[in-house]
Structure 1
Amino acid sequence: MIYGPTLLFALGQGAIIPLIPTMATGLGADLATSGLVASALVVGQLGGNIPAGWLVARVGERLAMVISGVLALIGAVMLPFATSITVLTLAVFINGFCAAAFGLARHSFMATHVPFHFRARALALLGGSYRFGMFLGPFVGALLLVSSLQAAAVIWFLIACLAATVLLVWLGPDPEREFVAGERTPAPRQAAGPENTAVNGPATAGMSLPDGAGAREGVFRTMVRFRGVLARLGLAASTLSALRAARQVVLPLWGVAIGLDAQTISLVVGISGALDFALFYASGQVMDRFGRLWAVVPSMLMMSSAFLMLALTLDWHSATGWFVALSAVIGVANGLSSGLLLTLGADLAPKQNPAPFLGSWRTLTSAGAAAAPLIFSAMAAVAPIGVATAAMGVIGLFGTWGFLRWMPRRGGRG
């Protein structure tokens, strides 16, 4: 009941995303317009986080997931009947908007109920469930296209996944009630210390509230109260999101720049993604056992160094070999930070009412992911691609410094 709905939601999304540009071109859009239609998904996710924080705080995690699932279902039903670019864009936007609400509701639930000493592993599994769905979805979509030769089959698969998600959340056992019932029994106090008290001295003072301090505050009052952590650690977290999003743009374009064919590029990017996915639980283990810094700092240093090194290899005779090796490094590095943003958001949010804070936190991380491809594309348009790639590495180094400077330590650990 905790991970199943996330997997189903991501499976449907993963199946339909590759088809969005094709559907747009089928309605007469050019390549640029098709890209804008596809970007409506990211825009919807970015714009949905703060309203989702308000919704979850008002109605609870379970009802918020049902509402967002039903709205996403309405958006999916619009897809087969979309006869214009406007309707298609609106349907894609609704899907992204609802994905933000669905994800925040589950994130808020985990932040409230999962104990600190295994929080990172639990959230790494949550992130891994979403990644697995997004990884498997395109293959299911391709299989449906091969068997039916119609994009409508993939759309109806999305509708079926969303309907199953809503039914599972609405009719299945409510994990929130079970956790609340369990929490009524006193449990031994963990040695990790208070769950919402940062103990890193002046650098992190005021970054967290005592339990219950934000129990009845709304989204905007929470943003003001947490402006310190959002301006500092939130900015560092957005650079991690930026690196993750940049690799999805940089690696394919770099393969084109060094003259590789589409099949080779897809294979290299696929291997990088497989390494990323394989390490998601190991990341949770590292964060729980040694601290958050031991996952995020090596991850960001590896990704930043790989982007900087890649920028130097464009004209080398061994450019292809370096591309393969550095793509693998980036995949491993990203896997080492799996679940980090979810975990850090849960660490910093007030336990009694985390949703308003998490709405702002996820907006910042989504903004980083949305901005990175735009920054890279803009720089690549006016400078060599190596300069644009190196800029991503520099952004990562600044983010690493931000985590080292402002990450709360607990008991001497990050």
Structure 2
Amino acid sequence: MVYLPTLLFSLGEGAVVPLIPVIASHRGATLASAGLIASALVVGQLCGNIPAGWLVARLGERITMVIAGSVSLVGVVGSALAPSLVLFTVAVFVVGMSAAAFGLARHAFMTTRVPLAFRARALSLLGGSFRAGMFVGPFIAAALLAVFHDATATLWFYVVCLAVLIVLVLLGPDPEAQAAAADTPLTVSEDTGEAVSGSIPAIERSGVFRTMWRYRGVLGRLGLAAACLSAVRSARQVVLPLWGVSIGLDAPSIALVVGVSGAIDFALFYASGQVMDRFGRLWAALPAMVLMGSGFLVLSLTHDASTKVLWFGMIAAVLGVGNGLSSGILLTLGADVAPQGEPAAFLGSWRTLTDAGGAAAPLIFSGIAALSSLAVGAAAVGLIGVIGAVGFLRWIPRFAPRRAADMPHDAAG
């Protein structure tokens, strides 16, 4: 009831996201405006996190997931039927907001339900479920295009995924109700395999903005380091294809290199959770940031080297390893430092910070590359990675556990 809806949501999203610019261009958008329309999804996610925190705190995760799935369903159908580019852009924005609400509901649910001893592994699996959908989704899109010869077919595939997701969440058993009937604690002490879908009991509703102010210390320190990690992750998806083009590789070769990097990333998602649960959060966050930051810095020095293609493949693999080792880190750190009684409002702020980092990085890289060169842009991304590594080294021991046993009852306090 957590992983399967996540997989369904990300499968549909993974099939649609790469084709949003294509669909927009087929409907008359220029290349520039098609890119702008595609960015409406990210803007929607940014704008949706804080309202989603308010919604989860008042209605609970299960109802929020149903609402998010239903609104996203309306948005995807609207995208398929939109008669104009303006309405298509609005529909994409709505899908982004719904994705933020769905993601925050899952995050808040896991924060309060999963025992600390295997929290990182559980959240790494959650991140892995998302990665699986985003990895497989484009292949499903390619198959649909081969059969129907129409990019809109991927939107209808997303509709099917969302419809199944809504039914699954609505009809799945509610362990919270079962616990209340049995007069047992709501927190499960071990993985029983039971389906889970209940809502967080609201103990003290502080409000979204009051929560942001109360926890401004952790958000302004550890939160900014987490935003740096999100920025480096996001930049990787832009830098590698452009770098391949700039050194003269053809499209199939670039796709192969990026695909291998993504496969390495996907293969390592559970390793991050194992490391964080067994040795502490720092031992996954710091190596991931060092690998990605140093990878971009080294890449910036290889553009004119005689072995630049070899360096490109090696650095892409290193970035894949670093990204794989960072799977679940942002989810886990957010869960660690969130107020355990009512995490939703805090997690809305936390996810807004990390999403902002991810949204800003491609813009920063593109701007620097336009003013200077790709090499300088890649070096700037590497510098962001170094800053994030220093931030994690400084702030994780204060706000998050070195080991699960060291975790205080309320880390954010």
Partner of 2:152: 152
Paired AA for residue 168 in structure 1: L
Aligned ranges 1:319-398 → 2 under 5 Å:
319-398=308-387
Distance 2:5 2:188 in 1: 31
Q: C-alpha offsets along residues 366-406 of structure 1, whole Å, 9 cap, x if unaligned?
A: 00000000000000010011111001011111111111111
C-alpha distance 16-411 of structure 1, shift in aligned 2 (>3 A): closer
For the Cα contact (< 8 Å) 1:109–1:176, is it kept in 2? Answer: no
For the Cα contact (< 8 Å) 1:47–1:97, is it kept in 2? Answer: yes
1:221 aligns with 2:215: no
1:282 aligns with 2:274: no
Partner of 1:261: 250
Count of residue pairs brought into register by the alignment: 393
For the Cα contact (< 8 Å) 2:54–2:207, is it kept in 1? Answer: yes
Which of the residues 249, 252, 265 maps onto 2:238? 249
Deviation larger for 281-290 or 176-185: 176-185
For the Cα contact (< 8 Å) 2:295–2:382, is it kept in 1? Answer: yes
Q: C-alpha offsets along residues 312-339 of structure 1, whole Å, 9 cap, x if unaligned?
A: 0001000000000010000001101100
Runs of 5+ unmatched residues, structure 1: 191-211
Secondary structure of 2:241's aligned partner: helix
Distance 1:213 1:91 in 2: 32
For the Cα contact (< 8 Å) 1:2–1:175, is it kept in 2? Answer: no
C-alpha distance 386-71 of structure 1, shift in aligned 2 (>3 A): same
C-alpha distance 46-188 of structure 1, shift in aligned 2 (>3 A): closer
Distance 1:175 1:324 in 2: 47
For the Cα contact (< 8 Å) 2:179–2:186, is it kept in 1? Answer: no
Partner of 2:261: 272
Paired AA for residue 410 in structure 1: P
Q: CA deviation at 1:167?
A: 0.7
C-alpha distance 188-331 of structure 1, shift in aligned 2 (>3 A): closer
Paired AA for residue 85 in structure 1: L
Distance 1:179 1:304 in 2: 46
Deviation larger for 30-39 or 20-29: 20-29
Deviation larger for 144-153 or 229-238: 144-153
Partner of 2:410: none
Secondary structure of 1:317's aligned partner: coil
Aligned ranges 1:114-263 → 2 under 5 Å:
114-177=114-177, 184-185=184-185, 215-263=204-252
Paired AA for residue 269 in structure 1: V
Q: CA deviation at 1:166?
A: 0.6
C-alpha distance 69-189 of structure 1, shift in aligned 2 (>3 A): closer
Runs of 5+ unmatched residues, structure 2: 191-200, 408-413
Which of the residues 309, 312, 334 maps onto 2:298? 309
C-alpha distance 180-278 of structure 1, shift in aligned 2 (>3 A): farther
Secondary structure of 1:334's aligned partner: helix
Distance 1:162 1:348 in 2: 31
Distance 1:188 1:39 in 2: 40
Q: C-alpha offsets along residues 59-79 of structure 1, whole Å, 9 cap, x if unaligned?
A: 000000001111001011112
Q: C-alpha offsets along residues 290-349 of structure 1, whole Å, 9 cap, x if unaligned?
A: 000000001100101110000000010000000000100000011011000000000001
C-alpha distance 363-179 of structure 1, shift in aligned 2 (>3 A): farther
- For the aligned residue pairs, the C-alpha RMSD in angstroms reads 2.0
Paired AA for residue 156 in structure 2: W
Q: CA deviation at 1:154?
A: 1.6
For the Cα contact (< 8 Å) 2:45–2:96, is it kept in 1? Answer: yes
Partner of 2:283: 294
Compute the TM-score of the two structures, normalised by the length of structure 2.
Answer: 0.91
Distance 2:187 2:95 in 1: 40
Secondary structure of 2:221's aligned partner: helix
For the Cα contact (< 8 Å) 2:114–2:187, is it kept in 1? Answer: no
Q: CA deviation at 1:245?
A: 0.2
Distance 1:276 1:39 in 2: 24
1:56 aligns with 2:56: yes
Q: CA deviation at 1:114?
A: 0.6
Secondary structure of 2:28's aligned partner: coil
C-alpha distance 12-38 of structure 1, shift in aligned 2 (>3 A): same
For the Cα contact (< 8 Å) 2:114–2:188, is it kept in 1? Answer: no
Q: CA deviation at 1:155?
A: 1.6
Distance 2:338 2:62 in 1: 19
Partner of 1:41: 41
Q: CA deviation at 1:138?
A: 1.0
Partner of 2:198: none
Distance 1:171 1:186 in 2: 20
C-alpha distance 271-27 of structure 1, shift in aligned 2 (>3 A): same
Paired AA for residue 316 in structure 1: A
C-alpha distance 256-236 of structure 1, shift in aligned 2 (>3 A): same
Distance 2:181 2:324 in 1: 35
For the Cα contact (< 8 Å) 1:213–1:350, is it kept in 2? Answer: no
